[in-house]
Amino acid sequence: MVMLTTVFENYKACALDCINFKLVRTQEDAEAESTSDYFHPEFAHQLYGEDENIFGYKDLSINLFYLAGSLKMYLEIKYSDKLSEKQAEMKIDEPLEPIKEIIPQSCCFNKNEFIQLLEGESKFRPFGNLVNSYDRKGRKFEVYKCDQSAPGFLDYHKRLQTFIMFFIDGASFIEDDDENWLFYVTYEKYSADGQTRYATIGYSTVYLFFAYPDLKRARLSQFLILSPFTRMGHGSKLLTTIYSDLQSMKIIKDITVEDPSEDFTTMRDIVDTKIMAGIWTKKLVADKPFALPKELLKLAQENTKLNRKQLKRIYEIVKLLHLECNKKPKLFTDFQDSLKGRIKKEFEKPVTKLSRHLLVEDESQSEHDKAAAAIELEHQATQVNDTYNATFNHYSRVVDKVQGL
């Protein structure tokens, strides 16, 4: 984006602030002037560039309304003034164009037409098969599983996936007509005007890869709970539902995750630790070594189908969870030493011959080589400490969360 002079500063807007999402259940929701139900994107750089700014409009507001169930859309733009390129002496942005590239052509640009679509919301029903249901503070929620063959689902998914461009960093759309995709969608089931209705809460996509000789490896790809419903336990409930369903499928070898975000990693570790703490009991792991023993790995894989890499991490967290730190502080110290030792060993593997020279008296070494080796080893020591602190702090947060459940 161009650098702006102070004169035009009021004509610059951050996309994260001026783009507003709203989930509409009633005509009153659609017509309300209040912005209290709006929520904003977390990312916009894929549409508006790294600085995520939009130039040329004063008091800019871009509103994306979705019918809460079917997610049929309405897009509008509002502003109090617009610069001409002659005034600005530079190109003016077209705020809606990047959004138009990712939304379906069926999107409404007339609010009255959008409001008329509300009449059909009472007929909207989830796609696929019910795989779980649960309550949250007196509200009912259901999770459905389907694939691309469900009538009408692909059109619905094209609307649903528009959210990921704003709420998952580096997201991209999938080829959703591939029969190897599974879709898990959470809905709220509620009553309005004496009729049962459904509102979309969040979803996840799972791809089934070939695994020798005749099995499938399930990989969670996209995972999103819409902002108005975060911090309510819907994410962990959706994840455990997916686990349970995939574990029941004989064809599934194991379950992996594609490029998890930091928030998802934390939630996943909490869920997995809670599950594995019931399998790897305190008595079972008490006298076991720090590294995951083969018999416990096999036990976990047979019961959960979680992948080996994740289970090795969760085993360490479960070990920390089961420690009686107050009664036996030495066990806690031993755990810290073992964790740091494991991390140090991983960093030592790629050490160059140059660094090893530092450990051997050799008159042929030049002062330059010795200095370079010393710098490399010092850098490695810093990496080990930083990684250890980050890992241990993460493990501790997960343990605190699990103990508080």
d(CA 377, CA 358): 9
Measured in degrees and rounded to the nearest 5, phi and psi for residue 199 equal -125, 135
Helix (H) or strand (E) holding 196: strand 195-211
Q: How far apart are the C-alpha atoms of 140 and 131, rounded to whole Å?
A: 14
Single-letter amino acid code for the residue at 405: L
Which helix (DSSP H) or strand (DSSP E) does residue 74 occupy? strand 73-78
Q: How far apart are CA 247 and CA 256, in angstroms?
A: 12
Report how far residue 153's alpha carbon sits from residue 377's, in angstroms, rounded to the nearest whole number: 55
Strands 181-192 and 139-146: antiparallel
Tokens found for residue 402:
């699990």
Query: Which helix (DSSP H) or strand (DSSP E) does residue 283 occupy?
Result: helix 282-285
For residue 12, give the amino acid letter.
K
Strand order in the sheet with 19-24: 19-24, 61-67, 73-78
| DSSP structure class, residue 128 | S
Q: How far is CA 291 from the centre of its chain?
A: 29
In total, the chain counts a number of residues equal to 405
Question: Both tokens of residue 234?
Answer: 């819907």
310 CB neighbour count, 10 Å cutoff? 21
Of 94, 258, 346, 348, the catalytic one is: 258
Quickly list DSSP for 179-192: TTEEEEEEEEEEEE
Instruction: Please indicate whether residue 258 is annotated as part of the active site.
Output: yes
Q: Which residues are catalytic?
A: 258
